Structure 1
Amino acid sequence: MAEPRPNLRVLIAAPRGFCAGVDRAIQIVELALERYGAPVFVRHEIVHNRFVVERLKGMGAIFVEELQEVPDDRPVVFSAHGVPKSVPSEAQGRGLTYVDATCPLVSKVHRQAERLIDEGRHILFIGHAGHPEVIGTFGQVPAGSMTLIETVEDAQTIDVPTSADLAFLTQTTLSVDDTAAVVDALKARFPDIRVPRSEDICYATSNRQAAVKAIAPECDKLIVIGAPNSSNSLRLAEVAERLGVPARLIQRAADIDWDWLGQPETLGLTAGASAPELLVREVLEALRQRFELTEEIADHTPERMVFKLPRELVA
């Protein structure tokens, strides 16, 4: 006779998974395939999720890192993370058909950067070196007009042009708490620094981190579904760890480390902004094979944000 399975309460964070910008970017690739036929080229991963990328590959999308890999007669989509100005400029120069899937909240940061430079300010940009969003934002303004800040120590020690009027902006997918500490350090050192009119960290990143904070006190462990190169997903695991809850980032159910998981009484479960709900269900089904499962949705903040699709694809 089979041994009874241990009980497991799974507290599912809400909101989790796809945000409006990711949803829009994926729809743009799907609509481009409908409009232009396969193949449609996509510069950089459309969003940081292998499952999403593989599904779109199966539909006829081809992912490349640089524009020179795109043939002259095929359309190209720019990823949700945004691209430097030089990329659409090169596409226009070659006469390529292109669709920009940059998240509108990233585009907002781009426009803020341009305005601040027009005002003669030097921008301190809080973000992670090498992240596509950072590369895209730096590519909106002249070289040397923006300085990257990654840590509180950077904020306290970075060299800035002595005559510069300073402003700061941030990547949209950062840790809310880390960024607040960096901003405090900048304000302490540069009391007159121009502050953004509104929060640059996007609503989805903030909401998902707040949802983890809301469930963490009840959880023994927490699983985050997301890609290892997904900034917002990594931040969710960090949020839990800082609250004393052991957390693991996995891409899908096959990645669950059962030895690490053990037999918790309550497990938290969330997903980064580029992870589809299908992967949440997949993880729950894997857990159900080993535990008597009780699922609870921990509603935190409902999200109703929707972004318009590009006119050229819906006209």
Structure 2
Amino acid sequence: MTQALTLYLAAPRGFCAGVDRAIKIVEMALEKWGAPVYVRHEIVHNKYVVDDLRAKGAVFVEELADCPDDRPVIFSAHGVPKSVPAEASQREMIYVDATCPLVSKVHMEAARHHEKGLQIIMIGHAGHPETIGTMGQLPDGEVLLVETVEDVASVAVRDPANIAYVTQTTLSVDDTTDIVAALNARFPQIVGPHKEDICYATTNRQEAVKAIAPKSDALLVVGAPNSSNSRRLVEVASRAGCKYAQLVQRADDIDWRALDGIASVGITAGASAPEVLINEVVDAFRARYDVTVKVVETAQENIEFKVPKVLREPA
């Protein structure tokens, strides 16, 4: 007899409005200008999405230097340092910026603080493209990076009375709260954002995981290893009481031996993982178990971002 299994499907999960918009930008650029269209960095952190766009004629490169002058180039959803569009303009390239509007909001915030003479502390992950892009909005030394509560104790600022902080949009809400508390304790005059920098989609996906983790024997996050928001979901699940939380890119990555004898599995997906991959994982469970799917919805999302005007105009 097939073993019974309850699948708790987190909602919201998967694609957010910024990812949706970025993918649409590449597809519309291919329609407008034909292939190849160059994309600087993975448009979003998901191999399936990148491979799909590559098959349609997108060429993914790491630097602008790898792009010819006469083909359009798109900047990824994570944002780019100011020097990148400046170089593209100087080379008279056609470029489309697919930076998520919520990341652009952080860029503008940082610029406003800088204009007021404040030095900025950024809470983020070193080497992540979003962090590189945000820090690259301002001259060297104007944005200092902290990754942990411990970093706050050693960060060397110019003037403790003239600083502000911003955050990467895909962090763990709980970790960030602790770091902000440490910043406020060390720098009582620090200026924070008017509204939380961590984006609505990151927050919503983490809240949904907190709702399903305590009742799941195991929890799988569908997402890429280089996706910050996906990795945070695994951490959130573990902290919320799930004994086995794992990141999987595809159904093929599921470690079935580790799931031996379980009665319930939570499933969610990072903001750059398409629903087709979640369905693939659910189907893999259906093939092995007598599955009951329960959707656990903690928020509804209806946000949509417009694509840049250049793509809405005829060629």
Greater displacement, 68-77 / 153-162: 153-162
* Mapping of residues 132-171 of structure 1, within 5 Å: 132-162=129-159, 165-171=162-168
- Counterpart of 1:26, as a letter, is I
Q: Work out the CA distance in 2 between the residues paired with 1:42 and 1:95.
A: 16
Shift of 1:160: 1.2
2:177 equivalent in structure 1? 180
**Could you tell me which of 3, 9, 13 is aligned with 1:6?**
3
Q: Work out the CA distance in 2 between the residues paired with 1:216 and 1:125.
A: 30
**Could you tell me which of 207, 210, 218 is aligned with 2:204?**
207
TM-score (norm 1): 0.98
* Mapping of residues 15-54 of structure 1, within 5 Å: 15-54=12-51
2:44–2:77 CA contact under 8 A, matched in 1: yes
Greater displacement, 199-208 / 239-248: 239-248
Shift of 1:263: 2.8
2:262 equivalent in structure 1? 264
Shift of 1:163: 6.0
Identity between Structure 1 and Structure 2 (%): 61
Q: CA offsets, 1:83-130, max 9 Å, x none?
A: 001000000110110000000000000000000000000101000000
1:118 equivalent in structure 2? 115
1:249 equivalent in structure 2? 247
2:161–2:187 CA contact under 8 A, matched in 1: no
Q: Work out the CA distance in 1 between the residues paired with 2:250 and 2:161.
A: 47
Shift of 1:266: 1.0
2:160–2:189 CA contact under 8 A, matched in 1: no
| 2:311 is the counterpart of 1:298 | no
1:312 equivalent in structure 2? 310
Q: Work out the CA distance in 2 between the residues paired with 1:164 and 1:193.
A: 7
2:161–2:190 CA contact under 8 A, matched in 1: no
1:122–1:164 CA contact under 8 A, matched in 2: no
Q: Work out the CA distance in 2 between the residues paired with 1:232 and 1:52.
A: 16
- Counterpart of 1:182, as a letter, is I
* Mapping of residues 277-288 of structure 1, within 5 Å: 277-288=275-286
1:221 equivalent in structure 2? 218
1:224–1:247 CA contact under 8 A, matched in 2: yes
Q: Work out the CA distance in 1 between the residues paired with 2:97 and 2:143.
A: 24
Shift of 1:9: 0.4
- Corresponding residue SS for 1:11: strand
* Mapping of residues 35-74 of structure 1, within 5 Å: 35-74=32-71
Runs of 5+ unmatched residues, structure 2: none
Q: Work out the CA distance in 2 between the residues paired with 1:260 and 1:49.
A: 25
- Counterpart of 1:282, as a letter, is E
- Corresponding residue SS for 1:29: helix
Q: Work out the CA distance in 1 between the residues paired with 2:45 and 2:159.
A: 38
Cα RMSD after superposing both structures:
0.8
Runs of 5+ unmatched residues, structure 1: none
Q: CA offsets, 1:222-270, max 9 Å, x none?
A: 0000000000000000001112311000001000011112231110000
Q: CA offsets, 1:40-76, max 9 Å, x none?
A: 0000000000000000000000000000111111100
Q: Work out the CA distance in 1 between the residues paired with 2:157 and 2:96.
A: 36
TM-score (norm 2): 0.98
- Corresponding residue SS for 1:174: coil
- Corresponding residue SS for 1:289: helix
1:223–1:267 CA contact under 8 A, matched in 2: yes
Q: Work out the CA distance in 1 between the residues paired with 2:127 and 2:280.
A: 31
1:233 equivalent in structure 2? 230
